[in-house]
Amino acid sequence: MKLLVGLGNPGAQYAGNRHNIGFMAIDAIASANGISTWKSKHAGLLAEGNVGGERVLLLKPQTFMNKSGDSVQQVARFYKIDNSDIIVFYDELDLAPGKVRVKVGGGNGGHNGLRSIDPQIGLDYKRVRLGIGHPGKEFVTPHVLGDFAKADKAWLDPLLDEIARQTPLLLKGDDAGFMNKLALAIAGEDDKKKPAEKPAQSHVRQARPAKPQAEVPKTGPLAEMLGKLFNKD
In a domain, 84, yes or no: yes
Q: What is the pLDDT of residue 186?
A: 87
In a domain, 224, yes or no: no
What is the residue-averaged pLDDT of the chain?
88
In a domain, 218, yes or no: no
Q: Which helix (H) or strand (E) holds 2?
A: strand 2-6
In a domain, 69, yes or no: yes
In a domain, 87, yes or no: yes
Pairing of strands 86-92, 2-6: parallel
Number of domains in the chain: 1
Q: 95-133, pLDDT tens digit by residue?
A: 999 999 999 998 898 899 999 999 999 999 999 999 999
Contact 193, 187 (CB under 8 A): no
Q: What is the pLDDT of residue 205?
A: 44
Q: What is the pLDDT of residue 187?
A: 85
In a domain, 28, yes or no: yes
Q: Which helix (H) or strand (E) holds 222?
A: helix 221-229
> By C-alpha distance, which of 160, 208, 172 is closest to 2?
172
Task: Check 19, 42, 111, 143 and give the catalytic one.
Answer: 19
In a domain, 222, yes or no: no
Contact 154, 193 (CB under 8 A): yes
Contact 87, 5 (CB under 8 A): yes
Count Cβ atoms within 10 A of the Cβ of residue 21 and give its class: 0-12 exposed, 13-18 middle, 19 or more buried.
buried
Q: What is the pLDDT of residue 233?
A: 43
Q: What is the pLDDT of residue 86?
A: 98
Give mean pLDDT in consecutive 10-residue pieces for the chain, a chain of 233 residues. 98 97 98 96 97 96 96 98 97 96 92 96 96 94 96 95 96 96 82 53 48 54 57 47
Q: What is the pLDDT of residue 166?
A: 96
Tell me if residue 134 is catalytic. no
Give the integer Cα–Cα distance in Å for 174 and 149: 32
Quote the pTM value: 0.81
In a domain, 231, yes or no: no
Q: What is the CATH number of the domain that holds 129?
A: 3.40.50.1470
- Domain hosting 139: range is 2-193
